[in-house]
């Protein structure tokens, strides 16, 4: 294929809520450019971007897919992304490497919750953005309403470049405010005729054209001066002003189209060619220190790996963007994070599952390579001697978790290994074995995310599993002081074991007064790895316990705190004063005092009104106003404490504190309640006492588990 220089490469990402029409728009773009000779459809399962078997099964995009098109001497790299926020990792990594974001808006629904979620990441990276209002041919589509919502949500930077002449089922014409012509499409879409703007639309078009000229002029002092002098700008000057506005994130052009009918995509591609910035013109990347790292063809080679995909019969496919220099097949590069040397055996341009080999890729281009040994998503490959690391993508924390169990014990080890591979491919999916819960915990972005993971395990890796409700990481503490003692005595011929420990335990809190009833000989305040503190006091007088055994008593206490007496959960916020005991000149040893300390602590703990604490999460739900009642009612059934309500653009925000035990599968329930129009995020806030009846239930369940 033709080799394009860095000034003629544009990188765009198609983003939008589910069913906005991103995949069909991508299909239009590559069809218009002649990359494919027949447009695929979702129903026929023959689109270029949705090619995975699971995407065919589900009928929606699951992975971000790279494609390319060539339009009027420019190469446009396209990344088509999923719409469901379960796959937010695919969207974020794609936004990171795109030079322009095309946010596709469904004319039926306007600005959706999913739109706002995506915008958070576009805005974080300050990416140039085009709004494409799609489905203006739908009977329920409303271009003007969607445009109004865009302006209300994203401000006056939303700038109209087009509008549909005849929206609805008869849609076949667009008024273009930059070129001031009407594009009229044939019945089956494709290349339109350029016609004069009808007389009945001239007044409206002129008003909107003047607004567009003014918006373009605002972004450059020279253009503003010329606009004041002449009252207008020519088309090239408008393009210059629009480009500057996009680069500065101060102007968001709006287009209209019907991807289903192939009407409007060609004009948007022309705008991308002529106005959207190249990587060289866009904002620079950042290095690991947060400093600007401009795209520069004169610098040594640097690649940023933004996506990894494991194909069972192909191996590891790594997608990258060239940040500086150029990359040739056969090059050797250094992984900045690991120091490993990687040889780039092959270079590809990807179009869905199709790979086109190329000899080199230049600065700003996006490509892929096979079988890198030690390089994964978020890592930097660089030329030898050029010390640079690209700032990694920050992926969101998971919102749903489940315990995962192999149906066959022979698969236990394999599951952990395979899930580690899947995590390398998708960093938003996390896996860990919890020693505390004694479960393998899989954390994801939502129910769909879990379903895709399960599909991969069963269909690709032939591992059969089931999901279980994960246990809750409770904590235990006490509500009042208590004293206990324990004598450990064991005689088994020869030297025996003997140790006796007397201790007082109390609830610990910051700034509590020192114990007055004992002489403190030593004090240690330990920040516990699981949160909270242990204050351990040595109050032994008269040498009844030798100093060398005090650390053993502490070790016994710590071991019991790792598995508390009520539920086996970890203990926190306790003060322990060891004030008396006995030892034997021959039989006392470390193990004796460790056991005595452990058992004395357990006995005292059960006398000190033990209290079970549960994790409480701050939860923010973003939702349309019309479903607030249902969501509020559901939260109240989950023992939620409503902390407040707020508004965020078109949507409302409910802030609540909810016990983790009540958040199991909450993302599924929320999607069902709101038809997928709400989203939420959660963050650990505190540990708080559980109600008495729940403490009894947990304690009983723990006892039954121990019996089994």
Reported confidence tier of residue 590, pLDDT bands at 50, 70, 90: very high
The answer to whether residue 349 sits within a structural domain is yes
What integer pLDDT is reported at residue 493 of this predicted model?
66
The answer to whether residue 705 sits within a structural domain is no
The answer to whether residue 407 sits within a structural domain is yes
* 172 and 39 belong to one structural domain: yes
The answer to whether residue 224 sits within a structural domain is no
Domain boundary among 348, 382, 416: 382
The answer to whether residue 226 sits within a structural domain is no
Reported confidence tier of residue 706, pLDDT bands at 50, 70, 90: low
* 324 and 404 belong to one structural domain: no
In angstroms, the CA 67 to CA 40 distance is 14
- Tokens 């006892």, residue? 703
The answer to whether residue 389 sits within a structural domain is no
Tokens for 103, please give them: 């946010």
Number of H helices, E strands in the chain: 16, 38
In angstroms, the CA 566 to CA 475 distance is 10
In angstroms, the CA 588 to CA 601 distance is 19
Q: What is the torsional sign of CA 259, 262, 268, 269?
A: positive
The closest alpha carbon to 107, from 63, 159, 164, belongs to: 164
* 295 and 353 belong to one structural domain: yes
* 259 and 290 belong to one structural domain: no
CA angle at 365 for the pair 364 and 371, rounded to the nearest 5°:
125
The tens digit of pLDDT for each residue in 326-350 reads 999 999 999 999 999 999 999 999 9
What integer pLDDT is reported at residue 59 of this predicted model?
86
Reported confidence tier of residue 449, pLDDT bands at 50, 70, 90: very high
Half-sphere exposure of 658 (CA within 13 A, CB side): 23
Would you say how long the chain is, in residues?
708
Q: What is the average pLDDT score of the chain?
A: 93
* 59 and 150 belong to one structural domain: yes
CATH code for the domain of 304: 2.40.30.10
Tokens for 647, please give them: 């508004």
Q: Per-residue pLDDT for 495 more than 80?
A: no
Q: Average pLDDT in the 570-578 region?
A: 97
CATH code for the domain of 409: 3.30.70.870
Element housing 132 (H / E): strand 129-134
Burial pattern 153-189, b for ≥16 Cβ within 10 A else e, equals: bbeebbbbbbbbbebeeebbbbbbbbbbbbbebeeeb
Q: Average pLDDT in the 585-607 region?
A: 95
Helix 590-607 vs helix 550-561: crossing angle, to nearest 10: 50
In angstroms, the CA 213 to CA 180 distance is 12
* 326 and 209 belong to one structural domain: no
Domain boundary among 468, 491, 524: 468
In angstroms, the CA 630 to CA 306 distance is 39
In angstroms, the CA 454 to CA 429 distance is 12
* 481 and 582 belong to one structural domain: yes
* 547 and 669 belong to one structural domain: no
Reported confidence tier of residue 1, pLDDT bands at 50, 70, 90: low
CATH code for the domain of 536: 3.30.230.10
* 526 and 625 belong to one structural domain: no
The tens digit of pLDDT for each residue in 631-660 reads 999 999 999 999 999 987 667 999 999 999
CATH code for the domain of 685: 3.30.70.240
The tens digit of pLDDT for each residue in 451-493 reads 999 998 999 889 999 999 999 999 999 999 999 999 999 887 6
Domain boundary among 382, 417, 435: 382
Reported confidence tier of residue 628, pLDDT bands at 50, 70, 90: very high
Q: Which residue range(s) make up the domain with 548?
A: 476-608
Paired residues of 489 in beta bridges: 498
* 307 and 424 belong to one structural domain: no
Q: Average pLDDT in the 427-433 region?
A: 93
The tens digit of pLDDT for each residue in 218-255 reads 998 999 999 898 889 999 999 999 999 999 999 999 99
The tens digit of pLDDT for each residue in 513-568 reads 999 999 999 999 999 999 999 999 999 998 899 999 999 999 999 999 999 888 88
Q: Average pLDDT in the 139-159 region?
A: 95
The answer to whether residue 269 sits within a structural domain is yes
Element housing 670 (H / E): helix 666-674
Q: Per-residue pLDDT for 417 more than 80?
A: yes
Tokens for 334, please give them: 């250094």
Q: Average pLDDT in the 162-181 region?
A: 96
* 162 and 51 belong to one structural domain: yes
Measure Cα distances from 254 to 134, 158, 215, 264 in Å.
11, 7, 13, 12
The answer to whether residue 220 sits within a structural domain is no
In angstroms, the CA 531 to CA 684 distance is 12
* 583 and 682 belong to one structural domain: no
As for how many domains the chain has, the answer is 5
Q: Per-residue pLDDT for 381 more than 80?
A: yes
Share of the chain above pLDDT 90, in %: 79
Q: Per-residue pLDDT for 708 more than 70?
A: no
Contact 332, 351 (CB under 8 A): no
């Amino acid at each position: 294929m033709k080799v394009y220089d860095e000034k003629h490469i544009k990188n765009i990402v198609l983003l939008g809520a589910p069913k906005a029409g991103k995949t069909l728009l991508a299909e239009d773009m590559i069809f218009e450019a002649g990359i494919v000779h027949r447009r695929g459809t979702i129903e026929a399962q023959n689109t270029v971007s949705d090619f995975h078997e699971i995407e065919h099964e589900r009928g929606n995009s699951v992975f971000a897919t790279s494609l390319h098109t060539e339009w009027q001497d420019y190469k446009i790299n396209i990344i088509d992304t999923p719409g469901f926020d379960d796959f937010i990792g695919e969207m974020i990594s794609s936004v990171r490497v795109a030079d322009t974001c095309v946010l596709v808006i469904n004319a039926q629904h306007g600005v959706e919750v999913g739109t706002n979620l995506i915008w958070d990441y576009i805005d974080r990276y300050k990416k140039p953005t085009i709004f494409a209002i799609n489905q203006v041919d739908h009977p329920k589509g409303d271009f003007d309403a969607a445009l109004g919502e865009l302006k209300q949500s994203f401000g006056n930077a939303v700038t109209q470049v087009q509008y549909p002449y005849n929206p609805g089922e008869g849609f076949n014409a667009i008024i273009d405010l930059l070129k001031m012509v009407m594009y009229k499409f044939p019945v089956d879409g494709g290349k339109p005729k350029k016609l004069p703007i009808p007389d009945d639309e001239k007044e409206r078009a002129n008003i909107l054209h003047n607004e567009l000229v003014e918006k373009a002029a605002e972004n450059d002092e020279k253009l503003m001066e010329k606009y004041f002098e002449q009252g207008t700008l020519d088309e090239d000057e408008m393009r210059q002003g629009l480009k500057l506005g996009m680069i500065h994130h101060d102007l968001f052009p709006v287009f209209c189209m019907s991807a289903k009918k192939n009407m409007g995509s060609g004009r948007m591609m022309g705008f991308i060619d002529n106005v959207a910035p190249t990587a060289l013109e866009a904002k620079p990347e950042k290095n690991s220190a947060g400093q600007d790292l401009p795209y520069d063809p004169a610098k040594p080679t640097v690649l940023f790996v933004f996506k990894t995909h494991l194909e069972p019969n192909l191996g590891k496919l790594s997608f990258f963007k060239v940040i500086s220099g150029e990359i040739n097949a056969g090059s050797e590069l250094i992984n900045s994070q690991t120091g490993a040397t990687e040889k780039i055996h092959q270079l590809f341009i990807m179009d869905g599952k199709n790979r086109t080999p190329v000899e080199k890729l230049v600065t700003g281009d996006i490509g892929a390579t096979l079988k890198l040994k030690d390089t994964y998503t978020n890592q930097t490959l660089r030329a030898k001697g050029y010390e640079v690391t690209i700032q990694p993508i920050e992926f969101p924390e998971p919102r749903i978790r489940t315990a995962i169990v192999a149906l066959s014990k022979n698969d236990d080890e394999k599951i952990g290994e395979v899930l580690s591979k899947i995590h390398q491919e998708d960093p938003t999916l996390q896996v860990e074995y919890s020693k505390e819960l004694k479960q393998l915990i899989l954390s994801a972005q939502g129910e769909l995310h879990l379903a895709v993971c399960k599909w991969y395990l069963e269909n690709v890796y032939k591992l059969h599993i089931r999901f279980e409700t994960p246990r809750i990481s409770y904590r235990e503490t006490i509500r009042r002081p208590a004293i206990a003692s324990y004598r450990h005595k064991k005689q088994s011929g020869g030297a025996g074991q003997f140790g006796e420990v007397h201790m007082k335990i109390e609830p610990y809190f910051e700034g509590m007064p020192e114990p007055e009833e004992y002489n403190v000989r030593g004090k240690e305040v330990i920040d516990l790895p699981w949160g909270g503190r242990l204050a351990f006091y040595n109050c032994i007088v008269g040498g009844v316990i030798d100093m060398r055994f005090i650390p053993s008593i502490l070790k016994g206490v710590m071991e019991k705190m790792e598995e508390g007496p009520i539920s086996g959960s970890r203990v926190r916020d306790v003060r322990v004063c060891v004030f008396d005991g006995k030892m034997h000149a021959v039989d006392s040893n470390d193990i004796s005092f460790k056991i005595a300390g452990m058992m004395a602590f357990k006995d005292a703990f059960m006398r000190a009104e033990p209290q079970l604490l549960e994790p409480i999460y701050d939860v923010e739900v973003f939702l349309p106003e019309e479903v607030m009642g249902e969501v509020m009612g559901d939260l109240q059934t989950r023992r939620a404490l409503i902390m407040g309500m707020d508004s965020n653009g078109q949507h409302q925000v409910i802030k609540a504190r909810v016990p983790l035990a009540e958040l199991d599968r909450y993302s599924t329930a929320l999607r069902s309640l709101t038809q997928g129009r709400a989203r939420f995020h959660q963050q650990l806030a505190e540990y708080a006492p559980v109600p008495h009846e729940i403490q009894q239930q947990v304690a009983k369940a723990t006892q039954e588990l121990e019996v089994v």
